Structure 1
């Protein structure tokens, strides 16, 4: 069985603001892509994400974007797997947004399992960093890894 996971969290801002925190490369670079993001997340685009704590910019294929609803990404991994990440954004009815991230495509190998757990940790960290950045303007990742 291939490895996959889902993480989610609620952010106390409207869907449009939370969605833009991911789709806009300048905003994404403010709390997640510590080395910078290049290119807006739009269907059919290939953008670049870079992390100071995980050296080397890498391409991210944008499979699908439904404004304020869903972003689907695909990329390769150091294990040779190609994974698909689906982010959904849902209005909770109380001024908050539920962000859910699901990643699939890891092979059923020890390396695939380890990489899937690592990315699960990474996406959980991203949700925490996004919450604090969008709600309070604080970059949790600054100095966190190195």
Structure 2
């Protein structure tokens, strides 16, 4: 059994604006990385994400970035296969007249064990929260995570 998931949401802004809200660490820190983000998401970079609910910075390896289309990351997914890391793929697709964006996040490569399954559920919930927080911040300038984990 392969442990993987995919979540998505529609954001009422053009692709470029939504994409920049993810790759720019100052913007990402405004709604998702409650402890801050260091480093722009660029292919070959190693950036740091910190979360108030999981103290301590997480190293995030940026595998691929296709402007306004796709971001591929590797990070410690707890119970990941081989080197303990999982692969996260974020895709951005324009909708309708280009004023809306479909954001999809897929994560895969956990060990097929009860602990791997539990870790995948936790990350699925986390990415779902990220999409909700992204939508609220980009569309309404509201930080859904503010005060939720401190």
Corresponding position of 1:127? 131
Instruction: Count residues with an aligned counterpart.
Output: 146
TM-score by length of 2: 0.95
- Looking at structure 2, the residues matched to 57 and 115 of structure 1 have their Cα atoms a distance apart, in angstroms, of 18
SS at match of 1:117: helix
Aligned pairs (5 A) from 1:1-146: 1-79=1-79, 81-94=84-97, 95-146=99-150
Deviations 1:92-146 (A, max 9, x none): 1241000000000011000000000000000000000000000011110001123
Q: In structure 2, list runs of 5 or more residues that go unmatched.
A: none
Deviations 1:63-114 (A, max 9, x none): 0000000000001133353100000000012410000000000110000000
SS at match of 2:31: coil
Q: In structure 1, list runs of 5 or more residues that go unmatched.
A: none
SS at match of 1:108: coil
Q: Is the 8 A contact 2:77 2:110 kept in 1?
A: no
- Looking at structure 1, the residues matched to 23 and 96 of structure 2 have their Cα atoms a distance apart, in angstroms, of 22
The runs of 4+ residues in structure 1 deviating greater than 6 Å are none
- Looking at structure 1, the residues matched to 135 and 57 of structure 2 have their Cα atoms a distance apart, in angstroms, of 24
TM-score by length of 1: 0.97
Deviations 1:31-78 (A, max 9, x none): 000000000000000000000111110100000000000000001133
